[in-house]
Structure formats: C-alpha cells, structure tokens
Structure 1
C-alpha cells in the first residue's frame, strides 16, 4: 500500500481525535462560564450530545452531506459502513470519523443557547433533528459539491458550515427560551450572572485552541507538501491576535482587562480564521484575528442591550466572528492560494467583488436557513416534550439537581441536596 496514502490517513485520524477532544474544552468552557449549580448538567449534556450526533450522523447525516444526490442534498450512503469506500484519497471510515467530529462540534455550539434553562428532553429531541436536518444540508451545499461549492464558496474548515450554523441554532434557542431568571431588570439594565470558574474557562479555551489545529490543519486531508504547517501558522497568528485585541479593547473601554473578553477574543480569532486559513497570507491572518477579537467585544455588549441572553457567548464568538471569517476570504484570498484551494482571489488582490459576493451570499443563505430551520424544529421539539424550559423552581434550584438528582459539586450545597431528597 502506498506510503503517502498511509501517512495521509494517519494524519487525518489524529486530527479527528484532536477535534473530538475539543469537546473537553467545551465542557470546561461552558461549565466555567455558567453557575455552579448547573456544572454537572452541562458536562453530562456534552457527552450525550456526542453520542446522539454520532448515531444520527452514521444513520443519515453523512449521506445527506456526501451521498450522491443533487446540488441541495445527498441521497445515498446512509448507515455508513463500507470499509472499501474511498473519499478524497482517504479510507472512507477515516473521512467519516473526521467529518463526524465536525458535526458534533456544530451541535455543541448550538446548545450554548440552551444553557441553564432548557429541559434535558429538549436537548435530546433537538439533537436528533439538528444533526439530521440542519447541519448536513448546509454542509452539503458547501462541502458536498452542493450549489454553493459550484459558485466557488471558500470555507476551508467551517466558519460557515460549523460555526455560523451552530450559532444560528443557538440564536433560535435563546429567542424561544427567553432570558434566564434575573438576567435583565425591568428598567432594561443587565445583571452579570457570572460563571463560577474562570480557571476552567481559560483551560477550556486552551484545549480548544490546541484542538483547532486538528480542525484547521487537519482539513488539508493529507501531509503531501506539508501545507498543513502553513494552515497551522495562520491559525496560531489569528488566535493570538484575537486574544490580544480583545484584551486591549476591554481594558480601554471598561478600564479593566476583562478575562472572559480576552478568552472570547482568542476563540473569535480562531473562528474567524477557520474559513480563510488556507487562502490568506500570514499578515492577513493577523488582521482577521485582530478584527475578530475587536468585534466579539462589541457583539457581546450588543446582545445584552438587545436583551438576548447568551450565557456562553455563542452568538458573538461563533456567529458574528463566523460571519467575519467567511467574508474575510473575499477580501484577503491570494491568487495562488485560491488557485490551490478553490474559488477566486479576494478584492485586495485584484479579484474584484466576485468572491466577496459569493462569501456574502453564503452568509445570508446559510445563516437564514440554519436559523429558520432550527426555529421550526425547536417548535416541533417544544410540542413533543411539552415545553422547552424547566420551571422557575427547577431553574432556581439548578439543573444538576432538578434534571439529574445529583449535584456537580456535592460538598458545596448540602442543604439543597437534602431539600431535593426530602
């Protein structure tokens, strides 16, 4: 068997594991960013999210994305299991696992909009529906030789496919679930329902940062030419610029170097470079990450003023930064890299408005589809489980106890445990 074939498959398999381990980063990020009484619930929810996403992706998701069909949906390869299948020069099973890891990340992002007030049953039903009917359709349009791919849409590792899609589902959830108790006062002022552990949040961001090299560099799908190193370089520079920019903008405006803002700035830089990491020069990666870090700060403030309660900042980090990352290739894509990876050169390299227009179109269409489809499916979920949100009493008690009967930190709130068991 060809040595390069084996090396490519080994590389992608390692990167798939890195992407899967990003779920550990999300556990720490989301648990640390929310209150202690919901920490166990959030951690456990992430694990069954992976389980449901895996089964649904195996049954229908992969087929809807990569199966033979039309420009809008795939219609074959359901219940994937043919070990002889080859895709993009990889063993089919390895490509399947790599793509599955991405689908699970999109679902985890979507669930950021559910945090601290959604029923466990709502998570379960929506996980099935989103994994079957939202993410695969957008992914087919862009990565499965769909109609946006035909137009030359550039999204190397998923600023649109993964991050914007997940964020639009999170937006639909935050609107239908309404804000957490105590988040907004009658006069419109905002209460800071601070997360319980910034150390967890920071460690979660670092794990995500490392896992992102599997996300972006792994999307080269091979080691030939070592192009994955170039993609990794752009990823690192954008994340660094995002963290630094967010730190300084918060310091300048708030008078304090706010830690959550800095952490979200790093993530925003990562999200922003995800589409363009294979299309732009390193100096452009710095600019893309820097702008991502700046806009995430203002976006977080905007959603608070709009009374949209987004506990994990999924809308800002994955949504707004995902939009910017998608658009950025229309400005910064170089002719050489566009020729290598698809699409056309960006506006700043003499490519005109053609690629920029395709990128903007993809944001509008994919964002609208993901939001509308998720909103409708959440209404279906609501009808199936009898409401999306827990009762006020259950929310005050915390989802650890009300949904699971045990507390994530059992030694910290003995009185509540005794009350729950009475």
Structure 2
C-alpha cells in the first residue's frame, strides 16, 4: 500500500467534490422544472442559503461604514456619541426585528390585514441539524433569510443617525429606532418584499432604493424638521455657517466600507447562486453596482468643480454613495454604461440638493437625505429605463405611498418623543459636545 502524500490527498478531495453532487442527486431526485436545473436541488438549496449568509456578513460590515462615515463628518466633540449610537442602534434594530419586525415583513399566509399588515410574533428558525427530507427545498433556509434581512433593517435605521447627529440625546433616538425597526420599516417592506399590495400591482425595487434607502431618508427628514438645526448652523440673516467634520480620512474609509458592503446588499439580493443563470446575474449585479458608484463619484467631482471651481471631497464621498443608492432599485438589467449613467445622475442630485437643504434651513449633518431619499427616488424611477416590466405610474405611486406612510408615521413618533421626554440636549450641553455632556467619553481627549 502506497503512503498517502499531500498530492494524493488533494486529488482524492477533488474527486470527492466532483462526485458529491451526483451522489446528492441520487439521494433526492428533482422532478419537473427542478430536473432542468444546473445542479441537484439539495446543492442549489445549500448554495442559495450560502449567498444570503455571505451577503448578510457584507451588509453587516456596512454598519462599520456608517459609523466611520458619521464619525468623520461630525465635529470632534460629538464623535464618541456618534459611535455609541451606531453600536446601540444596530443592536437594538436586530433585536426589534427579531421580536416583531420579521414576521410583519414576511407573514407568508398569515396576514393580519391581507396585503397591508403582516403577522405578529417572533422570528423562528429551523431546528438544529435540519435534515434534507424536512427542508423546503424550493427556497433558502429561514435562518439565512432572517440573517440577510435583519441587516437591511439595521441599514434603514443607520440612515437616520447621521442626519440628526450632534443635537439629539441618546435614549430618545433609540426609542425612535425601536419603533422604526419593529413597525414602520417592516410594514412598508411587506408591501413589496412580503408579497403585499405594492408587489401585486407590479412595483419593482430589486434591492431597496425605496424599500430601504428612501425609508431611512423619509424618517431622517421628519426628524430633522422636528428636531431643528444645530445651534449656530444658520444665521438670522439667512447665512449658513460651515461646521466642518472631524476627520476626512475616517469619512473616506466609511465610504469605501459602504461601497464594499453594497456588493452584498445588491448582489445577494438575487437570493440564489444555484444555477448558471443565477451566478452570472450575481456577477452582473456586482459589476453594475460598482459602475453606479463610480458614476456618482465622478459626476459629483465634475459638477462641484464646474460650480465652485474646486472639488469638494465631502460631496464626492456622498456622490459615490448616491450612485450606489441610485442603482440599487435595478442593478441587474442595465449594462455597465447605463448603470454608470444612473449613478452619475445620483451624484449630480447630491451636489445640487445639499445647498438646497441649507437654503431651506434643514440641517442634515452627513447629507443622508440627498443620498438616500433623493437618490433613492431617482433610482426607483430609473428602473423604467432598463427594465421593460417596469411601469412609471406604478413606480411613482409606490414612491408616494411609502413616502406618505413613513414620513407621517415617523413624524408622529418624533412629535410624541419631543412632547414627552424631549429630543435635544440643553444649549450648554450641545455647545460642550455630547461626548462630554452625555456619555463622558471623548474621542480625542488630547485635543481641546
């Protein structure tokens, strides 16, 4: 008997991988449409579940991106507070979605009001050691689906954080996040992704330009209006006082982390890689996602130079993010050039919208409203240019329905919080900075 060498062991492992699909196919033989699939049904089930797990990990990494972006855009006296908000907000959003949000968003056949309000109850995963014979092989595992979807819920909450930064207390903000992630976000998401009335009417939003990004934007806009601007941001004479962020390197790092996470956000929204067509589409989606981002960044660079005779880094950062948001509603059907143009329009929107908000005296610290709301609306409309199944009237109707619901519900919550426990710190505490005044941990204690 010959000794087993690394080479022979490797060849044996390769042979095992090659024959394993055939063995699985003999164990459970697919029929009908499944027989025409590229891989056996069990392998497809495993692969489809895997892409959602991997996508969830990438989208979770976006939480770090939001934290770094916001830490860079806020002033140094508020950096620790912003980081704390991002940690606690992410944690609370995941808990709230588990307790109530997931079942509302994905009620299956258990709608409380058919097509409008989902079921109530906690998320329940498969039993440990699920056997293939007991699994629903037509779709990925519930556990991978929950893990992927909870990251989207947390992303919607993260959008709000940056807009209302530097002048909101921690606990009122977290209460709003709990309501947003338990009820507001899941209810409207069920109308599309849960098989509700918007989906039945043909609304198309592949990965969430409206369902996720504009929802965060509408909630942020309501908060900014009710909360008011930072003290000193706007002068009585109509002037706008610049309040530069603490660290452009951190903000740039945050942008690149978000850019990377978006490959999971959009790519894994295909929800499958178990066929030649699916994996090819995932690659196409990721390439188009990247193309949308570069279109947004380059357009923002050119437009800022044309208007201001200099390039504004903050607007280029947000231009890239707006490009990503813009292509999120339909990252599959465009070609690379079309995706780049869709993203470029998002970049232009950001450059024009940031000064518009200042003229309206709406204080958005990180520019989340132009990036996620305005570019989200544009991206949802842009679906009609590349997807022949999209209808402009249906797309606009869905934007309006979601906007009215989210802005209205968010406004009610913000008003109740303002009237009951209050939203803002005292004038002295805001001037001192929330790092010292509210949490007692400074991000940069050596600088005063």
Query: Do these two structures clear the TM 0.5 threshold for a shared fold by scoring above it?
Result: yes
Does the 8 Å CA contact 1:59/1:80 hold for their aligned counterparts? no
CA deviation vs aligned residue, 1:324-361 (integer Å, no higher than 9, x gap): 0000002321x4xxxxxxxx15xxxxxxxxx1111111
Are the equivalent residues in 1 in contact too, given 2:45–2:138 (CA < 8 A)? no
Mapped contact 1:271–1:321 kept (Cα < 8 A)? yes
| Cα deviation code 1:14-48 (max 9, x no counterpart) | 11000001010001100101100000110111011
**Aligned counterpart, 2:189:** 139
Match of 2:76 in 1: 36
How far did residue 87 of structure 1 move? 9.0
| Conserved? CA contact 1:159–1:323, under 8 Å | yes
Secondary structure of the structure 2 residue equivalent to 1:60: helix
2:151 to 101, 105, 110: 101
CA distance in 2, matches of 1:86, 1:369: 34
State the Cα deviation string for residues 266-286 of structure 1 (Å, max 9, x = none).
000000000011232332211
2:392 corresponding residue in structure 1: 356
Deviation sequence 1:225-263 (CA, Å, 0-9, x none)? 211001111101111011000000000100101111111
The reply to whether residue 80 of structure 1 matches residue 113 of structure 2 is: no
Shift of 1:379: 1.7
Name the residue aligned to 1:12.
52
> What is the alpha-carbon distance in structure 1 between the residues aligned to residue 137 and residue 360 of structure 2?
45
- Any conservation in 2 of the 1:330–1:357 contact (CA below 8 Å)? no
Aligned equivalent of 2:340: 286
Checking the alignment, whether the CA contact within 8 Å between 2:380 and 2:395 is kept in structure 1 is: yes
Report 1:13-412 matches (<5 A).
13-67=53-107, 68-69=110-111, 70-76=114-120, 78-83=122-127, 89-223=139-273, 224=275, 225=277, 226=279, 227-333=281-387, 335=388, 344-345=389-390, 355-384=391-420, 386-412=421-447
> Which stretch has the larger CA shift, 26-35 or 78-87?
78-87
Runs (5+) with no aligned partner, structure 2: 1-23, 25-41
In 2, the alpha carbon distance for the partners of 1:238 and 1:4 equals: 30
Distance apart, 1:153 and its partner CA: 0.7
1:380/1:82 CA distance change after superposition, 3 Å: farther
Provide the C-alpha distance between the structure 2 equivalents of 1:86 and 1:95, rounded to a whole number of angstroms: 13
For 1:284 and 1:357, the matched residues in 2 are separated by 22
Q: Report deviation, 1:77.
A: 5.0
Equivalent pair of 2:85/2:161 in contact (CA under 8 Å): no
Structure 1 Cα separation of the partners of residues 419 and 100 of structure 2: 23
Q: Deviations over 1:95-125 (max 9, x none)?
A: 0010000000000102222200001111121
SS for the counterpart of 2:311 is: coil
SS in 1 for 2:333: coil
8 Å Cα contact 1:87-1:95 kept in structure 2: no
Cα distance, 1:79 vs. partner?
A: 3.9
The RMSD of aligned alpha carbons is 1.4
CA distance in 2, matches of 1:373, 1:279: 33
CA distance in 2, matches of 1:400, 1:290: 37
Aligned pairs, number: 394
Unaligned stretches of 5+ in structure 1? 336-343, 346-354, 414-422
SS in 2 for 1:9: helix
Alpha-carbon separation, structure 1, partners of 2:233 and 2:163: 14
What residue number does 1:418 align with?
A: none
Do the aligned residues in 2 keep the contact of 1:25 with 1:203 (CA within 8 Å)? yes
Deviates more, 1:217-226 or 1:167-176: 217-226
1:76 deviates by 4.7
Q: Deviations over 1:194-232 (max 9, x none)?
A: 111111111100000000000000101111221100111
In 2, are the aligned partners of 1:62 and 1:80 still within 8 Å (CA)? no
**TM norm structure 1:** 0.91
Question: When the two structures are superposed, what TM-score results if normalisation uses the length of structure 2?
Answer: 0.86
